[in-house]
Amino acid sequence: MSSNATTTLDAPQSAKVELDRLERVPTLSRAEAAAEELSKLIRDLEPGARIGSKDELRERLGVSLGTFNQTLRILQATGVVTVRRGPSGGLFAAAQSPMVQLGNAVLKLDIDGESPTEALRIRLALEPLIIEDAATHATDAQVEQMRGELAKMLEAYQSEDPLGFVRANWRLHEITADACPQPILKSIYLSVLGLIENRTVAIQAASGVSLQAFHHDRYLVHVELVDAIEQHDTELAAKVLTRHNEPLTQPA
């Protein structure tokens, strides 16, 4: 694998992070436009009304799968829609409480493109609360979904696919946040996570440093984290999270 790779803020300490090259992914504007289009449709619906299946709505919007997934994250983060799985599942209009509406006002604040560190600090501050809730409330179905993303991370690692690894990693964090029963906390965390995800950081590995080895370590710590969540062991989950976040708190 080439010594130059594109990855997320989950970077090894010895990597050189070129923050001046940080930029927003081009598809974000399309995702925002699609989210606004669906939001206008939802405003006329009663809470709990079915909007359609993911495939139906993606076709209606005429966007790629990646763009639609980001659109869905925006709508979920702002409490506009809920997603139900199964044959009769799909997207449904969410009932927004006054507290969720207040949270949405906060979520509309974007983070300046020159300040990725601020987004990361917010994520690190919220993550212990998210993990504690996940270890307390995660269902067997949610843990199964987490393990599905772990399998994708392992497959991406073995095939030396850093982008695939990153995508599975972010999805794992989203599923973990989904176990949080606190709507404002979950919404803010998912919003910040989306802002970080939709920005790219160019990583130039130092001589002799392999991102493949780094991803191997990241995979293992995520396995331990999911194990702790499955065991509903909040103390162990907190300890694993500390190790998980160590590469993010150390200077590059």
DSSP per residue over 153-222, as a string? HHHHHHTT-HHHHHHHHHHHHHHHHHT---HHHHHHHHHHHHHHHTEEEEEEPPTT--HHHHHHHHHHHH
- Write the DSSP assignment of 99-158 as a string of letters: HHHHHHHHHT-PPPTT-HHHHHHHHHHHHHHHHHHHHHH--HHHHHHHHHHHHHHHHHHH
Please count the CA atoms within 13 angstroms of the CA of 206 that sit on its side-chain side: 9
Token representation of residue 95 = 């009932």
12 close to 209: Cβ distance less than 8 angstroms: yes
**Structural domains in the chain (count):** 1
Q: What is the pLDDT of residue 234?
A: 95
Q: Give the Cα separation of 164 and 153 in Å (integer).
A: 7
Helix (H, G, I), strand (E, B) or coil at 85: coil
Which residues contact residue 183 at a Cβ distance below 8 angstroms, ignoring those fewer than 6 apart? 79, 97, 99, 100, 103
Task: Judge whether 234 lies within some domain.
Answer: yes
For the chain, the 3-state helix, strand and coil shares in percent, each to the nearest 5, are: 60, 10, 25
Q: How far is CA 84 from the centre of its chain?
A: 18
Task: Judge whether 107 lies within some domain.
Answer: no
Q: Give the Cα separation of 80 and 34 in Å (integer).
A: 13
Task: Judge whether 159 lies within some domain.
Answer: yes
Backbone phi and psi for residue 175, each to the nearest 5 degrees, phi listed first? -65, -40
154 close to 204: Cβ distance less than 8 angstroms: no
User: Model-level pTM greater than 0.75?
Assistant: no
β-strand partners of 178 = none
75 close to 32: Cβ distance less than 8 angstroms: no
222 close to 172: Cβ distance less than 8 angstroms: yes
**CATH code, domain carrying 220:** 1.20.120.530
What is the C-alpha R_g of the chain? 18
Task: Judge whether 163 lies within some domain.
Answer: yes
Residue range of the domain that includes 129: 4-100+114-249
Task: Judge whether 72 lies within some domain.
Answer: yes
Task: Judge whether 109 lies within some domain.
Answer: no
Q: What is the pLDDT of residue 76?
A: 78
Task: Judge whether 219 lies within some domain.
Answer: yes
Q: What is the pLDDT of residue 71?
A: 85
Task: Judge whether 213 lies within some domain.
Answer: yes
Strands (E), 159-230: 199-204
Ordered per-residue pLDDT tens for the chain, 252 residues? 433 433 333 443 333 333 333 333 344 568 888 888 888 777 777 888 888 888 899 998 899 888 888 888 888 776 778 888 877 788 888 865 544 554 444 444 444 444 556 777 888 889 999 999 999 999 999 999 999 999 999 998 999 888 788 889 989 999 999 999 988 888 888 878 877 765 533 333 333 445 677 788 899 999 999 999 999 999 999 999 999 988 766 544
Q: Residue 130 is which amino acid?
A: I
